[in-house]
Amino acid sequence: MPGIKLGAQLYTVREFTQTPQGIEETLRKIKKMGFDVIQISAFGKIDPQRLAALVDELELDVCVTHTPLDRLQNELDQVIEEHRMLHCDQIGLGGMPEEYRSSKEGLEAFLSMITPIAQQIHNAGMTFAYHNHNFEFEKFDGKLIFDQLIEHTNPDCFQFILDTYWVQAGGCDPSAYIRKLKGRMKVCHFKDYAICKGQPAFAEIGVGNLDLAQAYRACQEAGVPYIVIEQDVCPRDPFDCLRVSYENLKRLAAQAE
């Protein structure tokens, strides 16, 4: 398969993307850093046409978004049209709302709510994708929530954005789950996992303890076309953190290709 495309999950720099001017400055800065692929997440309000024009001007590939659930529930036709403007064919959800997380009945209610949304997205020629945290690795009736999401959803309509940090935080093997999701994942989040003063911490790629070289090989084996860098919390300028992660990921990718 062709080489995996590497990108930036712009949630990492969300404090800089809350105004139209901030979004434009951030996109130009990200492009100058060498990124051609982005995931849009946690943006402030911006006219969709202005955003689409910026994406086109900078020749950015928007591989996926994180879109708020309330917009999926109440503005789905508009969301789909905005994604068409961005040439983006995958609409992501950043996580299951808390009210669904505490019981099997809650999980079933979430699936009942999200399934028709995913079907409507599929009918529009796009796919829905779900991003995990660590709570999906709790068990209901002896089975992980994440495994139940895999088993009780339609692969044609419901895909995943696996997050390496959160799988590790949930006590599972990121590489094993990458392989398990073969055919159901367009974008994988690479995020390193460190221990700082005895506590888990987000880290730049190559700085933490995860075997991301193995995770990269798993992405190759599973046919994952995109890997994007994300760091929820940065100890310094998040653009610097992205730069370190990008350089380290490029080296890792070069060794694996």
216-243 residue pLDDT tens: 999 999 999 999 999 999 999 999 999 9
User: Do residues 137 and 165 lie in contact, with contact meaning Cβ atoms separated by under 8 Å?
Assistant: no
116-166 residue pLDDT tens: 999 999 999 999 999 999 999 999 999 999 999 999 999 999 999 999 999
Q: Using the predicted structure, report yes or no on whether residue 2 has a pLDDT greater than 70.
A: no
161-213 residue pLDDT tens: 999 999 999 999 999 999 999 999 999 999 999 999 999 999 999 999 999 99
pLDDT of residue 257: 79
pTM value? Answer: 0.97
Please state whether beta strands 5-9 and 226-229 pair in parallel, antiparallel, or not at all (unpaired).
parallel
